[in-house]
Structure 1
Amino acid sequence: MSSLISLHRTDIVLAFYREMQRRRISPNVYTLNMVICALCRSGKLEKAVELFEEMESMGCRHTVASFNTLIAGHCGQGLLSAAMKLKSSMGKYGCYPNVVTYNTLINGFCKEGKLHEANKIFTEMKAWMLLLIL
């Protein structure tokens, strides 16, 4: 699935997922993260959010990758406030931001020309990484 996404064939990923549903095959967290990514890249952010919210009822716990994928989707559409809210909610699920989370947010703010906010996130990242080292 990740290869298909890299090749911009999100349509095939989504068709594969629909077929899994039709056959009543339960997806794992990796599959769901790939489908969320495909939805985000296809401009179907609302559907991606819905699937993200349904994950636990499907028996799949959110992972850092789940959050990072959805944060990237929000940043890609310029929805930086929503992306920041997602980052803030990670701890509720036992997930914590990593370098990918911070880099995605920094990139999103830079693309929107919000350099001051990007720098604040960078400063937060440095402090967070320092805590991890200690």
Structure 2
Amino acid sequence: MRSYPLNSPQAAARIVALAMLADGNLSKAELDALAESGAEAQLGLRAGEWHDVVDAFCEDLMSNTHQTLGGACKIDPRALTALMAEVEDDDLRRKVLDLCVSVVDADAEIVEEEMIVLCAAAKHWAARSEIACAA
């Protein structure tokens, strides 16, 4: 998995992309929620840069994960920890977690793989949130 500079817009956007792609289904509701939130601007990406980050991330996922029968992505726990470690700024962490919750919630169905991403962020960042994660 490629790495990005610490607290970079790309590192933050990749975590949001993982939350969106975790269930193996990129829904219109998730894309609409992303657009409505102004995620690109919130994360400091240039206009259109979101697609570059997602494309690069999908390449990384294809070579570093395995998919379940339902198409959901199972990312290695060490890789997940490494992704979370690239975002250290508390304000950026809150933005990323809020955006992740927003896109995951958008299709009104939160599956296990999405919860894994949300809980990893909350746990790694010691975030106080409404996310109910197992200990």
TM-score (norm 2): 0.32
- Higher helix proportion (structure 1 or 2): 1
Structure 1 or 2, whichever has the larger Rg, is 1
TM-score by length of 1: 0.32
By percentage of residues, which structure has more strand?
A: 2
Work out which structure has the larger RCO, using CA pairs closer than 8 Å and 6 or more positions apart in sequence.
2
